[in-house]
Structure 1
Amino acid sequence: MGAEVGNNVSDLTGSYGLSNSIMVTRATAGTLDGGPFNFDIDGTPDMVSGITVSDNFDLANTGYVITDDQGNILGLPPTMDDLEGVDFDAAGVGVCLIWRITYSEGLTGLETGQNAADLEGTFSLSNSITVNRN
């Protein structure tokens, strides 16, 4: 008795057997701080700046994902420097979301034109930062 969520296995009573344990490590992409950004589409380049990343990333590959508000992948800047070099004015009117991604080999769907909701494999997306293009 006592096999309930939140209880400690050492408090179980009665006849039972436990298998070996396994360690589960959840991926984390960290937390993005900065924004939201608001840009006027006026022919003048508009770049984000001052974005910081907190927390550790624990998978082999990291980068950034820029999506529209429907999750369609518009760009994949590999580094913060590359992200800060993206001209959001050239994208026209709309909303973009910037995410940090960390992932293991074998991730599929991480391509421009695909939808971030369709990613498959071991990965984590951070919170998003909004870029409004008016």
Structure 2
Amino acid sequence: MQSVQHNFKISNELDKEIREYCKIQKIENLSEFFRRAAVKEVTPDTSDALLTFESLKDLHDKMHRLESELSVFFHLFCFYVKHFFVYNPEIPPANLQGAALSAKQRYDEMFSEFKRTFADSPSIFHSMLADYFEERD
């Protein structure tokens, strides 16, 4: 790894404070101090519990929103599919019972295939599909 040299000016007061800090922290040279300060400035502090909590809370909120949106999508999709297979205005009244049974069978087959397509998907999809189908059964 190549090193890059930087030159900059600081006030005498700041220089004294830095040197005192280096003595207290047993930092052997100013270059090491400035390297540490630069790394600390550009690297997020994951040891801060509040920062970690806020990050996890934000992630939780996003996941909750995603779960809600997907739940709405699944409900809408299932509503659409159910009505797509059931609604057929050209069926004579005598064949209506058979058509309803056929629609139910096609609906079940379609969702079986739908579940199979998500067999290797992330766990959130498995749990959401499981929750949705448990509600329906």
- Interval containing the TM-score (normalised by the shorter chain): under 0.3
Which is strand-richer, 1 or 2?
A: 1
Which is helix-richer, 1 or 2?
A: 2
Report which of the two structures shows the higher radius of gyration computed on alpha carbons. Answer: 2
Greater relative CO, 1 or 2 (CA 8 Å, sep 6+) = 1
Structure-2-length-normalised TM-score: 0.26
